Amino acid sequence: MTNGDNAARPKLPFLAVVAFISCTLIRPSSGFVDVSGSNHAEEPNNDEHPSLPSASSQATEDEYDDDFFPPIADSDDISYFFSTYDLDGLHWALSNIFALSPRNPQNNVNKSIRRELSPKLVSRGGGDNYTTEYKLLHDLEQARYLARVLKESKPSVADYFQSTVIPIYEEVLKNIPPLEDLSRTKGLYAFTKADYESGIGNVYNKALYIETADEINPTWHTQNGGSLLNNQLDFEGIQNNWFGHGQNSPTTSTTSIPGALVVDNLLSTSALQTIRQLLLRNTHWYQTKTPLEFGKYVGSYVDDGLHDPLFLQLAKQLHESMPRIMKGHELKYMWAYKYDSEWESGIRLHADQAAVNVNLWVSLDGADLEVEGFGGGLVVFTAKPPANWDFESYNTNTEFVIDHLLRPTNFANLTIAHKPNRAVIFDSALFHQTDRYRFKKGYENGRINLTLLFGEMKMGDGDDGNAGRARVGQEL
């Protein structure tokens, strides 16, 4: 084969190579090796970290050398496994990478298999040597919640949060200056020597408690005929609506924008309850935003802890249920966000690098105060980035986007109010932003959304505002 032939071949994702060379070495017939473990005995594994067993219990230094797994999976890796619906393989890869990372508190003890945190995770707000006041308050509220709800079922775990984790968070919070004094760092606070002496390095941004869907609901695989989705939904009608030639149904509404639709009651009741519990209990909320720049919300990502098999199965079932919409679009990424109820603005104007965006609200019923003028949902504009713009151009220069793309369309948009178990499915290249919200205070009452991205972004034509208008909803 010539060099030219080699250059023309598509690059195989790194994890595809890993999966190939390891399939007969460490992947059992059950489908994957999960060295991330699960908590999950009533008694802690050791006195310091009761939740996540040591990676070395199933993986030795010889089995996992420094180069065996990459420090983070990328979208090509995720799409590679998903393209054949190899969900076991995808979970195997994601869970092994996660277990070998500093997120696993056992790796503080077993230095032989510990890695440094990926610079990508640090740069997007998931570092472990800095925080924000609102992020640490979220973690404190979650720790108090876990200490309460696990008191009967897992008393030693509950005691660990009550006696160890909560006092550390409370002590460090006392050291964080007021937000106005952190203008230079846009609200970020770097941990000090005093904070580390208090023990923050042992608990912050660690997988202190991970509960699986199998533990929460052992029959989730078979309930509702094995479907996580509402069996009453008409997915053929949903797809017709996407392409602009359908009619409203009791569960689906067309919109003024082809390529954007609203689906109520997307999930089955049991699936919604299980997902809520996963997102409330699991300590995989590692991302903080700079509050003086982006607002106050915490994030969890598929390449950094949000990889329970139920989430991967949900992606598969959505993909299978809408074959015309999803044609050629594999799962690319997934995240969940929790929003600070003390704030009222969420994610600012942006477009995502994907073809199809499924945005699902899983907040508790009754948490949204439903104040007039605070819809709490999503605003989707009719404009797309022009083809010659790059990611930084359309996601950092907000004023330019407003003046050159949105204003020429008279800010034409679709505004969807928040509602639990409501999904907005839309062309991910369309500019969108969180609508203003007001939710009840309290950890369980926060606004929570789960987002799944499929395929590659299809940007607008041309290089100016008018040419950047969307052409969506065209059937492949």
**Total number of residues shown for the chain:** 476
To the nearest whole number, what is the mean pLDDT of the chain? 79
Give the H/E segment covering residue 288.
strand 287-288
**What is the Cα Rg of the chain in Å?**
22
Residue-level pLDDT at 474? 44
pLDDT at 144: 98
Give pLDDT, residue 446.
85
| Highest-confidence segment of 64-68, 106-110, 309-313 | 309-313
More confident call, 393 vs 376: 376
- pLDDT at residue 328, as a whole number: 93
CB atoms within 10 A of CB 213: 20
Which residue from 453, 423, 434 is spatially nearest to 352, judged by alpha carbons? 453
> What single-letter DSSP state applies at residue 229?
B
Q: Report residue 401 as tokens.
A: 């986007």
Note if the pTM is more than 0.85: no
| Interhelix angle 309-321/75-82, nearest 10 degrees | 70
Among 2-6, 202-206, 240-244, top mean pLDDT goes to 202-206
199 or 400, which is more confident?
A: 199
- When mean pLDDT is compared over 120-129, 139-148, 249-258, the highest value belongs to 139-148
- The model's pLDDT over 272-285, given as tens digits with 9 standing for 90+, comes to 999 999 999 999 99
- Packing angle, helices 87-99 and 14-22, rounded to 10: 100
Mean pLDDT of all residues in 63-75: 74
Tell me the pLDDT band of 243, cut-offs 50, 70 and 90.
Answer: confident
pLDDT for 405 beyond 90:
no
For position 292, what pLDDT does the model report?
Answer: 67
DSSP β-bridge partners for residue 423: 263, 360
Mean pLDDT within 385-396: 66
Quick one: tokens of 406?
A: 């949105």
Least confident of 141-155, 272-286, 332-346, 400-414: 400-414
The arithmetic mean of pLDDT across residues 430-454, rounded, is: 84
Alpha helix locations (H) across 182-339?
193-198, 200-203, 213-216, 235-242, 269-281, 291-294, 309-321, 323-326
Cα(327)–Cα(443) distance, rounded to whole angstroms? 39
Higher pLDDT, 121 or 293: 121
Q: How many helices (H) and strands (E) does the chain have?
A: 18, 13
Measured distance between the N- and C-terminal CA atoms of the chain, rounded to whole angstroms: 35
Percentage of the chain exceeding pLDDT 70: 70
Torsion over CA: 266, 272, 275, 276 (sign): positive
As a whole number, mean pLDDT of residues 205-221 equals 96
